[in-house]
Amino acid sequence: ADHLIAMKFHSDQEQGFFDYPVDNVGTEKLFANYFKKKKIKDLVVVSPDAGGAKDAKKFADLLGAKLAIIHKSRPDHNKSEVNHVVGDVDGKTCLLYDDMIDTAGSVTAAKEALLAHGANKDVYLAATHPVFSDPATERFKEAKFKEVVVSNSIPIPKRKEFKGLTVLSVAPLLAKIIRHVHEGKSVTEAML
């Protein structure tokens, strides 16, 4: 291999493990285009943890939205507890934004915390990688998000689908990037 195209690393520093060019493709514009069409009023983009705040801020800027951050702790593996909500969510429509969803424990706990802080009951969720390890699907069914929007970076088996799930295709974006790499053009321009 002499070039790598990756879809949303969990940490940007992972690019340092390669001795050749790496393009870490984000999905924020894909999601932003989708949510702009909804024309949601009083929108607040929420990072479900401090680690995702930088990405959530970029996403919020694309949508012209405010930012809030969930401060959480992890008492055990795949368990999270919300300690604080930083930012104004009272009476606002919240859009949780994350890079991946594993068991959905963090995002469902985040939704509960947002509602407890006065957020509009219509809470959205967007994430690039839908890992959906058990019991994610059951948690989503109970949590009743307004909509869960993910990319198809990971195929979702039929048994893990649920009402309110929307899957956006990354194929056009990846095809454009591959073409740009092949033709020696800017990958950044392909992502615009």
Q: Which residues are catalytic, by number?
A: 72
Residue found under tokens 């401090």: 50
What residues contact residue 187 under an 8 Å CB cut-off, 6+ apart?
5, 23, 25, 177, 180, 181
Residue with tokens 């055990």: 76
Hunting for tokens 């109970």 — which residue is that? 142
Instruction: Check: CB of residue 130 under 8 Å from CB of residue 166.
Output: no
Could you tell me which residues come within 8 angstroms of residue 90 by beta carbon, excluding any fewer than 6 positions away? Answer: 117, 118, 119
Q: Which helix (H) or strand (E) holds 142?
A: helix 136-143
